[in-house]
Amino acid sequence: MKYMDEKAESSGTKTLKGGFTKHKTLDSVLNVEMVKDKTAEEIKQIWNQHFSSKDTIYAVIPAEKFDLIWKRAQKCPTFLCALPRKEGYEFFVGQWSGAELHFTSLINIQTQGEAAASQLILYHYPELQKEKGIVLMTAEMDSKFLNVSEAQCIASQVQLFYATDRSETFGLVETFNHRPNEFKYMSVIAELEQSGLGRELTVKLD
């Protein structure tokens, strides 16, 4: 039984800069019809098993958590995250476009403006959200700029900032969107260090 489809990879739909897939749908990745009778846990296993052997990042997000992320994304469609580098931190800007979340480095935006290409795209699929209580996520990245560990660090910060219970943490996203003059870059680094998300990556860099 082939639950996972690789239509996107075989049909030559990669048309965006950086080798990203244009209009990537859940149907192009998962045989949705065949998993309709499966439980959320079974779908999660199929999804995780399929992507675990691939050089990419992926997740199965509980519906309630995605609801919170989604509501907040409507009010605050852009945010900033920090990626530990040997020379300190590199900032990446995330921009929601529907259920896709596009990231590019801040320096890329500063030098290229509107023409700055995405370096990482997170694809969220809410098709099974109501029925199964899960939202599937997968990603594509430009390997010239990011490896899997770095992409994972960035993706984890989406949950850190958008799914947090701490109003101060999401407050940084609100400030970035609505009061940019008050925004402090160092507060993002402080939040990241407090969460421990960047620590694992820093150990690898050493």
What does the pLDDT profile of the chain (206 residues) look like in tens digits? 456 665 444 333 444 555 677 667 888 888 888 888 999 999 999 999 999 889 999 999 999 999 999 999 999 999 999 999 888 999 999 999 999 999 999 999 999 988 899 999 999 999 999 999 999 999 999 999 999 999 999 999 999 999 999 999 999 999 999 999 999 999 999 999 988 876 655 445 44
Task: Give the tens place of pLDDT for each residue, 103-118.
Answer: 999 999 999 988 899 9
- What is the pLDDT at residue 61? 97
Residue 8 pLDDT: 40
CB atoms closer than 10 angstroms to residue 73:
21
Neighbours of 132 (CB within 10 A): 20
H or E stretch at 60? strand 58-62
Strands 20-21 and 14-16 come out as: antiparallel
Q: Are 170 and 94 in contact (CB under 8 A)?
A: no
Nearest to 140 by CA among 194, 86, 103, 111: 103
Torsion of CA 62, 64, 69, 73, to 10 degrees: 130
User: DSSP string covering 2-19, please?
Assistant: --B--HHHHTT-EEEGGG
Looking at residue 1, what is its pLDDT? Answer: 42
Taking a C-beta distance cutoff of 8 angstroms, is the pair 169, 197 a contact? no
Are 188 and 81 in contact, with CB atoms under 8 Å apart?
Answer: yes
Of 92, 179, 162, residue with least CA distance to 124 = 162
pLDDT at 106: 94
The reply to whether the predicted model has a pTM over 0.85 is yes
Residue 35: per-residue pLDDT: 87
Of 115, 141, 168, 135, the closest CA to residue 66 belongs to 135
Which ranges constitute the DSSP H helices of the chain? 7-10, 40-52, 63-75, 106-112, 129-132, 148-162, 167-178, 185-195, 197-205
